[in-house]
């Protein structure tokens, strides 16, 4: 299946959870926030939240700004 | 020293801050310079932006929040780059998740890329939604006293009019409208955007602003850490001058040395 990840197509095997997605991206332990289909998914729910084909996922972090 | 007036802290949405200087984290050379400048500024409140994480690139790259730890500073996520209320609200919700429920945000909804002038229609809509969702909203806005009051009515905890365009360094271009906002506000008023150098910051504080938020004036100085230190002093000097209540302006001269006893008298 395929999701839209930060605006780009991203193929996935199976239906991974957000924890598995974050791990596959090398972001485990990083301070990020995740939105799926424009809804926040709290960190406490990443392990139970499975992705589906066509999901639009945003992963964001803090950067310098004013 | 007994004649010094004891200043009160800046209080925004029940949070108390010793420093009335708030600083951004953009445009620095690296995180070391960011951290050094912010330390020199003495700021308690530090703004940052929320952006898509770069995927597949340098997973070990340093993180802004390591340079500016939430344990030491009050972080103020902004909605810079948002042009609609919807995007600004989404960004604030992502920021709240990023900071484990921290609900203080800087709302800015921009009108166009050339001026970065606030779109007040979208800003008003976003403010209402965010306040209803439990956010404490410090809001970047135009220097329009009516809009400032409308934002306050919608529950914003601080109103932050621009001094001049974001990143322009043109200082306070319309002190008269800023004075009107200050006269009528019942929440803290902070100048956000446009500060160019220390005297701009001091002037805002002398006028009675509760604080000043700046980024470029420090980060784009040739020596950012020194400018951060200058800004800290300018904010303190301006605040004390405001509390001390300046002398009246007069059209004619008034000698400081007594007339009596002159040798030519």
Residue A11, CA distances (Å) to A23, A53, B49, B79 in order: 15, 9, 28, 30
Q: Report the distance separating Cα B72 and Cα B52, nearest Å.
A: 25
Model pTM score? 0.93
Contact present, B97 and A42 (Cβ < 8 Å): yes
Q: Which residue of B has its CA nearest to A8?
A: B55
Which of B27, B86, B93, B106 is flagged as catalytic?
B106
Query: For residue range B179-238, what is the model confidence (pLDDT) as tens digits?
Result: 999 999 999 999 999 999 999 999 999 999 999 999 999 999 999 999 999 999 999 999
Q: What is the pLDDT of residue B4?
A: 76
Helix axes B120-132, B145-153, angle to 10 degrees: 20
Query: For residue range A3-33, what is the model confidence (pLDDT) as tens digits?
Result: 999 999 999 999 999 999 999 999 998 999 9
Q: Is B183 on the interface with A (CB under 8 A)?
A: no
Adjacent-strand bridge partners of B10: B17
DSSP state for residue A1 in the 8-state scheme: -
Q: Is A56 on the interface with B (CB under 8 A)?
A: no
Hey, is A58 helix, strand or coil? strand
Answer whether residue A40 shows pLDDT above 80: yes
Q: Is B233 a catalytic residue?
A: no
Contacts of B101 (CB under 8 A, 6+ apart): none
Query: For residue range B145-172, what is the model confidence (pLDDT) as tens digits?
Result: 999 999 999 999 999 999 999 999 999 9
Cβ separation A34–B97 shorter than 8 A: yes
Q: Is B233 on the interface with A (CB under 8 A)?
A: no
Which one of B27, B52, B135 makes the best mutation probe of the A interface by having the most chain A beta carbons within 10 Å?
A: B52
Distance of CA B7 to the CA centre of its chain: 19
């Amino acid at each position: 299946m395929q999701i839209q990840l930060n605006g780009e197509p991203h193929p996935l095997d199976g239906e991974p959870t957000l924890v598995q997605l974050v791990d596959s991206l090398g972001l485990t332990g990083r301070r990020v926030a995740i939105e799926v289909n424009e809804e926040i998914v709290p960190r406490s729910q990443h392990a139970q939240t499975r992705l589906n084909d066509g999901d639009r996922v945003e992963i964001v972090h803090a950067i310098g700004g004013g | 020293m007994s004649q010094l007036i004891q200043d009160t802290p800046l209080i925004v949405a029940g949070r108390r801050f010793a420093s009335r200087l708030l600083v951004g984290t953009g445009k620095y050379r690296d995180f070391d310079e960011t951290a050094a400048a912010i330390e020199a500024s003495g700021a308690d409140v530090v703004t940052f932006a929320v952006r898509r994480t770069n995927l597949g690139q340098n997973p070990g790259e340093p993180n802004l929040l390591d340079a500016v730890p939430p344990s030491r500073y009050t972080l103020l996520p902004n909605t810079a780059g948002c042009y609609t209320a919807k995007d600004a609200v989404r960004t604030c919700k992502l920021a709240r998740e990023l900071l484990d429920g921290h609900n203080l945000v800087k709302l800015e909804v921009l009108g166009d890329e050339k001026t970065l002038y606030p779109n007040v229609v979208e800003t008003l809509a976003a403010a209402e939604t965010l306040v209803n969702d439990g956010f404490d909203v410090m809001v970047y806005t135009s220097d329009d006293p009516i809009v400032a009051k409308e934002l306050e009515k919608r529950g914003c905890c601080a109103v932050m009019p621009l001094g001049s365009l974001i990143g322009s360094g043109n200082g306070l271009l319309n002190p008269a409208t800023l004075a009107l906002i200050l006269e009528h506000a019942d929440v803290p008023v902070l100048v956000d955007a446009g500060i160019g150098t220390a005297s701009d910051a001091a002037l805002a504080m002398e006028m009675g602003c509760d604080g000043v938020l700046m980024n470029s004036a420090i980060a784009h100085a040739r020596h950012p850490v020194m400018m951060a230190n200058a800004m800290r002093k300018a904010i303190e000097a301006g605040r004390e001058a405001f509390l001390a209540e300046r002398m009246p302006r007069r059209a004619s001269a008034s000698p400081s040395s007594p007339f009596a006893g002159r040798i030519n008298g």
